Homo-oligomer: A and B are copies of this chain.
Amino acid sequence: MRIEAIAIGTELLTTDRVDTNSVWLGQELASLGLAFTRKTAVGDDRDAMKALFCEALDRSDLILCTGGLGPTFDDFTKELWAEVLGATLEENAAAKANLLAFFESRGRTPSPSNFKQVLVPVGAEVLPNPIGTAPGLWWESPEGFPGRRIVLMPGVPAEMKRMWTEQVTPRLAPLAERPVKTLRVLVSGVPESVVDERTSAVRRKHAHLDWTILASLMQVELLVRGPESSALDAARRDLEAELGVDIARIGAGSLEEAVLDLLAEKGQTLALAESMTGGLLAARLTAIPGASRVLRGSAVVYTAEAKAALGGLEPAFLKDHGTVSEPTTRALAEAIRERLGATWGLAVTGNAGPGEDPAGPAPVGTTFLALAGPSGTVCQRPIQAGSRADMQLRAVMYGLDLVRRAALIR
C-alpha cells in the first residue's frame, strides 16, 4: 500500500514551524505494519495544493492530509479536495450540531467564519472533532478514483491525534499488514556509545530481529521489532541480563513515568528545590496524570530571596556558600525534604547561561544535584555543555535518574 502524507501551511515552508504531525503519524503507521512512501509540505497556495492533490491521487492508495481546515481566509484544503474530486459542498447537520455544542460548552458564540467549517463535500464521511471546531473527512473510493482513500485531519496536533486514534485507526486496522511487534527498552544515565557496545553481542545473537537505537539527552531507547513475541521475549531477557539497573523502563513511557511509577510502587514521595531547572522538573512530572501520588511540591528558588523564603536557607548561609555550590545544594535538598515531609528531597542549582557573566554565581555549565534521603544526602556535579535548554533538560534527566537509582535500592 502506497501511503503519503501531505501537510498544508505556508508556515511550514517559511518559519521555524516543524511538521510534527507526519512524524507522529509515521510512528503510528509503523505500529500497524505500514509506512509512508513520501511526505510533502506545501503552502496555503491554491494552485500548488491542487497540483499536489492530483499527483497524490495518481500515485498513492492512502493520502493523509493535515492542516487548512480552520475557519480563516487561508484555510481551503476541504474546498480544493472537493474541486479535485468533483464534489459539491453541503451543510452537514451533525457537524453543525457539534460546532454549536463546542461553542456552548465554552460559553462563546461561533463567528460567521466558523460556519464554513460545517460544509461537507458530498460523498465524504465526517470525522468528529471533539476538542476543536474543524471536523475531519474520510473518503473511501471516491467517484472516479476507485481504491483510493483520502483522510483530512486538522493541523492542530492534539485534535489530529485524537481524531486519528478514535476515528481513523479503526477504519485502517483491517488494511494493516501482518502486525509487527515492538519491544522498547529505555536506558537512562548511560551514553549511547556505551549502550551500543554493551548490547552488540545481544544484537548479533538476535540478528533476525530489526534493531534501532535512538539517543536523546541522558537517555537511550532500544527498539526491537519482529513478528514473534517469543523472539522478542528472548531478546528482552538477554538485554535485562546485560543492562541490569541501567534499564529505566521496558515498554512505553518516559523516564518521568518510570520514576513516578517506581516511587508510587514503593510508597515513596518526592520534594524538589529547583534553581537551575526553574520549575522544569516539576512541570515534566506534573504533566503526567496522578503525579500527586508521588510529587509533594517544588520550590522554584530562582533568586536568593526565594532560596531564603521558600527554600528555608539563612541569608548568612547563602552569603557564605553562594547560590551555586555543593553546600547550598545539599542544604536546599535537606530543607525541602523536611518542609514537605517527603522520602526524597532533590535540589538542583547551576548556571545554564548563555553568556559568561563575570558577576554570575558560577561558570556557565556548572550544575550541582543533591539528593537527600532517609540515609543521608549525596551530591553530584555532572559536566555540562550545550545550549541553555539542553543544559536545563539534561539536569532534569540527571536528577530523575539519581532518584530512580536511589529508590531502586531503598
Contacts and interface: CB of A to CB of B under 8 A. Distances in A.
Interface of A: 10-18, 20, 23, 26-27, 29-30, 35-45, 48, 51-52, 55, 59, 70-74, 105-108, 110-114, 131, 158, 162, 191-194, 196-197, 200, 203, 211-215, 223, 272, 274, 277-283, 285-287, 289, 291-292, 295-303, 305-306, 309-310, 339-341, 353-355, 383, 385-390, 392
Number of copies: 2
Of A52, A112, A194, A303, most buried by chain B (CB within 10 Å of CB) is A303
Contact of A296 (B42, B114, B214, B303): B303
Contacts of A297: 299-303, 305-306, 309-310
Given A212-B15, A286-B280, A106 B383 contact: yes
Of A114, A291, A299, most buried by chain B (CB within 10 Å of CB) is A299
A105 B385 contact: yes
Contacts of A192: 70-72
Given A71-B193, A73-B200, A274-B282, 6 more contacts: A37-B45, A72-B213, A113-B193, A279-B298, A282-B282, A298-B298
A310 B11 CA distance: 43
Contacts of A354: 289
A185 to B, nearest CB: 14
A111 B194 contact: yes
B292 A286 contact: no
A270 to B, nearest CB: 10
A289 B70 contact: no
A223 B15 contact: yes
A55 B58 CA distance: 13
28 contacts: A13-B38, A14-B30, A15-B26, A15-B27, A15-B214, A38-B42, A39-B41, A55-B55, A74-B212, A110-B193, A111-B194, A278-B282, A278-B291, A279-B280, A279-B285, A279-B298, A279-B300, A280-B287, A282-B283, A287-B388, A292-B302, A295-B303, A296-B306, A297-B300, A297-B305, A297-B306, A298-B300, A299-B300
